[in-house]
Amino acid sequence: MRKLLFQSLFRLPLTEPAPLPDDAALRELATAVGDVARRRLGRSLSIREVDAGSCNGCELEIHALSNAYYDVERFGLRFVASPRHADVLMVTGPVTKNMREALLRTYDATPNPKWVVAVGDCARDGGCFAGSYAVVGGVSEVIPVDLHISGCPPAPLAMLRGLLALLEHVDSATVAP
Ligand code: SF4
């Protein structure tokens, strides 16, 4: 025991060093998403995350967008608690039969114009859960999807790239007040 305590006093931490906070790619992407949102919508982009049955791997990456490193709120992207305040629904997971109705209600409760982003391989076509008796399938089996972001799970930067592509292709006529 004494040996262990002694060793722990001098052993270096096993964790990897944190990435630098001024990551250029992150800053560039997140700023671009925030700017395009303000140009197209006239305000910040509000996102509601919906877990339709995922393993939570995709949620971990989505939550990372709000952590101290990514902190996308400083660029004008907000995660909101209600679909009534959302512009974008980010949906993860294969849609389970138990979540089908909840996903439909969430979609109906989101005001127009709205966009749906299916995040992760499971959201595309059921992924590794496809064919399960408990699963309906990909998100597009239940609601219309505007963009798929592949990956298992996709990295936060891939999600920002997807949001940017989505906003850049949004027809400005569809967001006119
Ligand atoms: S895509 Fe991968 S991480 Fe995301 S819900 Fe499916 S299995 Fe989990």
| Tens of pLDDT, residues 20-31 | 656 777 777 788
Best mean pLDDT range from 8-17, 35-44, 152-161, 166-175:
152-161
pLDDT category at 177 given cuts 50, 70, 90 is very low
Rounded to the nearest angstrom, the distance between the alpha carbon of 158 and the centre of ligand 1 is: 14
Q: DSSP secondary-structure letter at 164?
A: H
Q: Which of ligand 1's atoms lies nearest the C-alpha of 61?
A: 3
Q: Output the pLDDT for position 174.
A: 47
Vertex 135: Cα angle to 134 and 141 (nearest 5): 150
Q: Quick check: 175 pLDDT over 80?
A: no
Q: Which of ligand 1's atoms lies nearest the C-alpha of 120?
A: 1
Q: Is the Cβ atom of 61 under 6 angstroms away from ligand 1? A: no
Q: Is the Cβ atom of 55 under 6 angstroms away from ligand 1? A: yes
Q: Per-residue pLDDT averaged across 48-75, rounded?
A: 91
Cβ neighbours of residue 33 closer than 8 Å, sequence gap 6 or more? 45, 72, 75, 76, 77, 160, 163, 164, 167
Proportion of the chain above pLDDT 70, given as a percent: 93
Amino acid (one-letter) located at 16:
E
Q: Per-residue pLDDT averaged across 72-97, rounded?
A: 92
Question: Tens of pLDDT along 124-148?
Answer: 999 999 999 999 999 999 999 999 9
Kindly list the distances between the CA atom of residue 131 and the CA atoms of 21, 41, 94, 137, in Å, as whole numbers in the listed order: 42, 39, 10, 8
Q: Are 97 and 134 in contact (CB under 8 A)?
A: yes
Q: Is the Cβ atom of 57 under 6 angstroms away from ligand 1? A: yes
Within the chain, residue ranges assigned H as helices are: 2-10, 24-41, 57-64, 97-109, 121-125, 156-169
Kindly list the distances between the CA atom of residue 98 and the CA atoms of 95, 108, 116, 134, 161, in Å, as whole numbers in the listed order: 8, 17, 20, 8, 31
Q: Is the Cβ atom of 110 under 6 angstroms away from ligand 1? A: no
Q: Quick check: 151 pLDDT over 50?
A: yes
CA-closest residue to ligand 1 atom 5 = 54
Angle between the 57-64 and 156-169 helix axes, to the nearest 10 degrees?
70
Q: Quick check: 113 pLDDT over 70?
A: yes
Q: Is the Cβ atom of 53 under 6 angstroms away from ligand 1? A: no
Of 40, 168, 165, 50, give the one whose Cα is nearest residue 103: 50
Q: Which of ligand 1's atoms lies nearest the C-alpha of 53?
A: 5
Bridge partner residues of 78 (DSSP):
46
* Length of the chain in terms of residues written: 177
